[in-house]
A and B are shown apart, each in its own frame.
Chain A
Amino acid sequence: MAAKPRRLNLTQKYQLMTRGLDWETTYQSMDDVFPYDKYEGIKIKDWDKWQDPFRLTMDAYWKYQAEKERKLYAILDGFAQNNSQLNISDARYMNAVKIWMQGVTPLEYAAFRGFAMLGRGFRGAGARVACQFQSIDEMRHYQTQMHAFSHYNKYFNGFRQFARIRDRAWYLSIPKSYFEDAVTAGPFELITAISFSFEYVLTNLLFMPFVSGAAYNGDMATTTFGFSAQSDESRHMTLGLEVIKFMLEQDEGNLPIVQQWLDKWFWRGYRLLGLVGTMMDYMLPKKVMSWRQAWEIYWEESGMALFNDLARYGLRPPKYHEVATKEKYRITHEFWCTIYQFSHATALYTWIPTEEELDWFSAEYGELFDTVYRPRYEYWAELDRKGERFFQKRLPVVCNVCQIPIFHTMPDDPLMNCCLVSEYKGTKHQMCSQGCKDIFDHEPEKYCQAYIPPQQIYQGNCGGATLEAYKEWLHIKDEETGEYYGSEDHIMWEGWKAQSGKPADAPA
């Protein structure tokens, strides 16, 4: 009689259900079946050397993820039934959630698509399986974020038609272009951009401030989805580390390629995070930590510790990281000054920080804030009091690479605007920094094709060549844009506060 089959241990089960299902193709060549994993120049001698950074099988995956969903939705239901939107610190906080919903949630969807491509693209089964799981995770994050935020959509402006404005809003090309740049590269560059640069190196700067900011400002819906998503992030981060090690260990010729990608994606990621830093500094009525402090902890300490370890492979820290460190005193202020002037063309509200908040900035950012940015805010506040709230009449020039308005200043001169130009095929392309210019110059044929929204708008390709026509095409109404104080959100919030007997906030 046959012996009773032994229960498989985790490793055996994993082997059988992942790599054990793979095969070498015979009637089509492997190169034809996996046409994209060689052309970037990355050489892989032995895909079997891929170390699976986590051993998860599909049956366990479904079971655990389903349980996470049940838990999350139970909390979201309770949140909605208890009118928990009343518990947030202040309605200005909602703009942090709006920017997440408009800018970051669609990135989860873009990541789902990207990892689905990678889950087909690599010829190594271990790498494919890891990417397939992550693809499903990203779809889950996209959906749970949308569901967590949907309760706010019942009350606050800026959430409706997020999918349309994701496609059409000029300022949302900032996050969108990051992922579109990545998915139009090859598979190894894509996974380096997302898994390593974004998820491993920069995720602490993205996720931590947002989720702790949410908790701190009474937003339990966001906090709960944040924890739910973070329990998947461990897999994503270890995948990022594994892929870098794998490329570097497989062939020494991979080193310069990887270095160039790290240079590029560090800078692109850093530029994108300027938006998150601005949200942290300006949109959280209860502050968690300043961007400067977060940069010091998560980049100058943790990030540099990582690059010290990577130096053993011969990698150096990414180009221009020292510029990013110089900019830690100003980037969020330059960003907010810009959004403040353009919020009539966004589905966001902006405002001048309160006196108390200005004092917090002075303490966190010191002399530069007091001499450069505080006077600007005082000037604009004065105009506002005279009934002349300041808005720019035209859309800004944006960087051809990061698509952020060209407001950044010279690394060593915070009063001198930085705008660099590359000429390619007879056309001038503007960039915000040497970091972005290097990226353009390395692949001009790619970036000369970038879709630059303000240019398209003024060429009349977006509903008409005026701001008014464009806003109509965007379906953005004036009441969901511009100044926070006096806005529909503000009036509703004050009404709620009055009913609950708590004092309403005084306008700045």
Chain B
Amino acid sequence: MSYQATIEPLGETIEVEDDQKLLDAALRAGVWLPYACNHGVCGTCKVDVLEGEVEHNEASSFALMDIERDEGKTLACCATLVSDIVIEADIEEEEDAQHLPVGDYTGKVVRIEDLTPTVKGIWLEVPGDGIEFQAGQYLNLNVPGVEIPRAFSLANPPSEKNVIELNVRHVPDGQATTYLHEQLKMGDELGFTAPLGRFFVRKSAPEPMIFLAGGSGLSSPKSMILDLLENGEERAITLVYGARNQAELYYFDLFSKLARQHANFHYLTALSEPADTDDWDGPRCFVHELAEEHFGKRFEGHKAYLCGPPPMIDSSITSLMRGRLFEEHIFMENFFTAADSAKPARRSALFKKF
């Protein structure tokens, strides 16, 4: 059993399990709410319940006083839902978020291609009006025989509404990706929910853009960059992409060609562990190292978008911050495989997004 919570002023709707705390559900769904103590004594996570009913549970009577309860306030860290609710939290509205409605779709497999030895491109045809999404968003894919839907970023630009592209890395022993790599065939139908996520380009911000991507984290940057260039973007766009070896480096030709066509688009690649047989005279390093070298360790005055495996994201954030680009200018979608989420790194409340 679960309820829905709509979070204003974002307009984002999330699922909250029966005995799950509102704050926990929001953070897991990628919606940051202010919080500190996480057990009902400090009051940092106080929100207004505009519609619906909540249970306050162990919220301290000082952190959430009776008059506040009467006024419809609750502490998100303690609140559980007894109906669908709408809350208003003290968070900033994002000018560039489009708040597109989430829907359930069925797509037919129309193309499957090996992009690298471990990454398959899968194209799904969505008939009729197709789907509307913002470049950078993802979908939740229902994989036959797998109970929980899996998240994949949309790799095509939003202008292509009827055929969507997913890049799927094979996770060894991963139930869903093994199915998609080994059993999926042309003409199969897959159900999915989309669009999801709050990773999108801050188009209204004036700064030039840096995209840092690693491994199979190229999907969102690809969609975002194609969308920007299609729409005549004139600000500088730099894509720094890293792969392990040459065989894992994909869409090299596509981005090289775009770089030739658009003077404001720069494409940099590095291999971290080139194979002996690789014909590679480019940089041999990690993404963050290549970015540091290219920008001379100064990132001030940019907006940065990160996508890739957690260690790459982690090193990139540190490089950007040491280069004086701070949290409000850094955007990312955090993706975890089932194995990653089993050992979350302990974090403090210093940052909202990292």
A residues at B contact (CB < 8 Å)? 10-11, 54-55, 63-64, 67-68, 71-72, 227-228, 230-231, 233-234, 237-238, 241, 245, 249, 252, 301-302, 305-306, 308-314
Contacts and interface: CB of A to CB of B under 8 A. Distances in A.
B68 to A, nearest CB: 8
Given A227-B62, A305-B346, A309-B350, A238 B322 contact: no
B255 interface: no
B322 A231 contact: no
Contacts of A234: 36-37, 42-44, 63
B62 A71 contact: yes
B13 to A, nearest CB: 21
A314 B346 contact: no
B42 A233 contact: yes
A57 B113 CA distance: 58
A230 B346 contact: no
A231 B350 contact: no
B354 interface: yes
Given A55-B90, A237-B36, A310 B350 contact: yes
A184 B74 CA distance: 41
B321 to A, nearest CB: 4
Contact of B350 (A67, A241, A301): A241
A146 B90 CA distance: 34
A227 B90 CA distance: 23
Nearest to B348: A306
Given A71-B62, A306-B350, A231 B41 contact: yes
Contact of A309 (B34, B66, B90, B348): B348
Interface of B: 34, 36-37, 41-44, 60-63, 65-68, 90, 317-318, 321-322, 324, 326, 346-351, 354
B71 to A, nearest CB: 10
B324 A252 contact: yes
Contact of A312 (B36, B44, B318): B318
B349 A241 contact: yes
30 contacts: A10-B90, A11-B90, A54-B34, A55-B90, A63-B67, A67-B66, A67-B67, A68-B62, A71-B62, A72-B62, A227-B62, A228-B62, A230-B42, A231-B41, A231-B42, A231-B43, A231-B60, A234-B37, A237-B42, A238-B34, A249-B324, A305-B348, A309-B348, A309-B354, A312-B317, A312-B321, A312-B354, A313-B321, A313-B322, A314-B322
B353 to A, nearest CB: 12
Nearest to A237: B36
A172 to B, nearest CB: 29
A483 to B, nearest CB: 38
Nearest to A244: B350
Which of A68, A238, A312, A314 gathers most chain B CB within 10 Å? A312
B349 A312 contact: no
A55 B88 CA distance: 14
A249 B42 CA distance: 27
Contacts of B34: 54, 238
Contacts of A241: 349-350
B35 to A, nearest CB: 9
A257 B327 CA distance: 22
Q: How would you classify the secondary structure of chain A's contact residues: helix, strand, loop or mixed?
A: helix
A234 B37 CA distance: 8
A74 to B, nearest CB: 11
Nearest to B61: A71
Contacts of A67: 65-67
A95 B143 CA distance: 64
A306 B62 CA distance: 27
Given A10-B90, A234-B43, A71 B322 contact: no
A-B pairs, top 10 by smallest CB distance, nearest first, are: A234-B42, A306-B348, A234-B44, A231-B62, A305-B346, A309-B350, A231-B63, A312-B321, A227-B62, A305-B348
Nearest to A314: B322
A305 B346 CA distance: 6
A230 B41 contact: yes
A230 B41 CA distance: 7
A227 B348 CA distance: 23
B130 to A, nearest CB: 36
Contacts of B324: 249, 252
Contact of B65 (A71, A312, A314): A71
Contacts of B317: 312
Given A231-B60, A234-B44, 11 more contacts: A227-B61, A227-B62, A231-B41, A234-B42, A234-B63, A237-B36, A238-B36, A305-B347, A308-B346, A308-B348, A309-B351
B8 to A, nearest CB: 11
Nearest to B322: A314
B347 A68 contact: no
A306 to B, nearest CB: 4
B348 to A, nearest CB: 4
B90 A245 contact: no
B41 A227 contact: yes
B50 to A, nearest CB: 13
Nearest to A310: B350
B197 to A, nearest CB: 24
Contacts of B326: 245, 249
Contacts of B318: 311-312
Contacts of A311: 318
A72 B41 CA distance: 15
A68 B326 CA distance: 38
Contacts of B43: 231, 234
Contacts of B61: 71, 227
Nearest to A227: B62
A55 B89 CA distance: 12
Nearest to B327: A245
Contacts of A301: 346
A11 B8 CA distance: 14
Nearest to B300: A252
A302 B312 CA distance: 24
A308 B346 CA distance: 9
Contacts of B349: 241
Nearest to B67: A67
A139 to B, nearest CB: 17
B267 to A, nearest CB: 27
Given A231-B60, A234-B43, A238-B36, A68 B350 contact: no
Contacts of B90: 10-11, 55
Contacts of B354: 309, 312
Contacts of A245: 326, 350
Contacts of B347: 305, 308-309
Contacts of B63: 227, 230-231, 234
A353 B68 CA distance: 46
Contacts of B65: 64, 67-68, 71
Contacts of A11: 90
Contacts of B321: 312-313
Given A71-B65, A249-B326, A313-B321, A302 B348 contact: yes
Contacts of B67: 63, 67
B212 to A, nearest CB: 15
Nearest to B91: A11
Contacts of A305: 346-348
A11 B37 CA distance: 23
A227 B34 CA distance: 20
Nearest to B64: A231
Contacts of B350: 241, 245, 306, 309-310
A237 B37 CA distance: 10
Contacts of A238: 34, 36, 44
A285 B44 CA distance: 33
A307 to B, nearest CB: 8
Contacts of B62: 68, 71-72, 227-228, 230-231
B300 to A, nearest CB: 10
